[in-house]
């Protein structure tokens, strides 16, 4: 996986590196006051599932942020339109609220969500009477991502977004203008917004990417994102 200057590294599933997930308005009523740190980026899936099941809203929101892109990607693989993808997402997260305390392996909640979203897609297609499409991972192509690869990509995207949010404001603004904005901002705009000379943008970008990499490696030290230039 590469991290290029235009942030166009998008998987066949449609999960982008820095595109934030859309909010999923499933309400989880808190039965107790959440404690600080429950939904940190370092929390394990099993920890988040347990705390969400105990009523920790922050832990629930962390799960949604971590895997919303994955759930939507499953809908995209079934060639659903945006309206249907939203419906599948809502149903998938609703199913999770109903089964939070019953997951056999909470650490693999990503796979549970993938499987549930896939079933919801197939059920929706069956109800509509459409001809089921061939999924990307069912196609005869050795390059197609398997579920675990898709799940891993979604998790890495989540942690990359969190690392970006932890950058100092000057670096975050620079990288957002160059890597997140589509199309990237011209150098003249970057110079004005960041109050730096055009000639210093390249070196500043390199330093900011190095800082981003260090923050990201705190969570994913074995990342397969090799090119941060």
DSSP code string of 129-148 = TPPPPPPGGGSS-TTSPPHH
Q: What is the pLDDT of residue 220?
A: 65
What's the pLDDT score for residue 41? Answer: 47
The pTM score is 0.64
pLDDT at 133: 57
Q: What is the pLDDT of residue 1?
A: 36
Q: Compute the radius of gyration of the chain from its Cα atoms.
A: 19
Q: For the segment 141-168, what is each residue's pLDDT rounded down to a tens digit?
A: 434 568 888 888 888 888 888 889 899 9
Residue 124: its pLDDT value, please? 93
pLDDT, residue 179, reads 86
Q: What pLDDT does residue 228 have? A: 55
Segment 86-122, tens digit of pLDDT: 999 999 999 999 999 999 999 999 999 999 999 999 9
Among the listed residues 161, 146, 178, 195, the one whose alpha carbon sits nearest the alpha carbon of residue 6: 178
Residue 135 region by backbone torsions, left for phi larger than 0, else alpha for psi between -120 and 50, else beta: beta
- Compute the distance between CA of residue 111 and CA of residue 66 in angstroms, rounded to an integer: 12
Mark the ranges of the chain whose per-residue pLDDT is less than 70: 1-42, 131-145, 220-229
Both tokens of residue 135? 């999924």
């Amino acid at each position: 996986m590469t991290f290029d200057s235009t942030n166009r590294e998008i998987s066949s599933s449609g999960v982008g590196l820095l595109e934030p997930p859309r909010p999923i308005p499933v309400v989880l009523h808190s039965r107790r006051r959440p404690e600080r740190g429950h939904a940190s980026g370092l929390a394990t899936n099993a920890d988040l599932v347990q705390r969400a099941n105990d009523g920790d809203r922050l832990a629930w929101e962390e799960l949604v942020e971590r895997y919303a892109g994955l759930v939507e990607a499953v809908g995209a693989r079934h060639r659903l339109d945006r309206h249907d993808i939203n419906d599948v997402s809502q149903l998938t997260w609703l199913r999770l609220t109903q089964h939070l305390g019953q997951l056999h392996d909470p650490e693999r909640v990503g796979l549970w969500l993938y499987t549930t979203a896939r079933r919801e897609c197939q059920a929706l297609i069956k109800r509509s009477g459409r001809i089921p499409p061939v999924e990307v991972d069912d196609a005869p192509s050795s390059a197609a991502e398997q579920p675990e690869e898709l799940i891993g990509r979604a998790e890495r995207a989540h942690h990359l977004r969190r690392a970006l949010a932890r950058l100092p404001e000057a670096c975050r603004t620079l990288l957002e203008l160059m890597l997140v904005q589509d199309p990237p901002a011209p150098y003249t705009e970057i110079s004005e917004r960041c109050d730096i000379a055009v000639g210093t943008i390249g070196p500043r970008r390199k330093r900011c990417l190095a800082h981003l990499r260090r923050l990201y490696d705190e969570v994913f030290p074995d990342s397969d994102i090799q090119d941060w230039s």
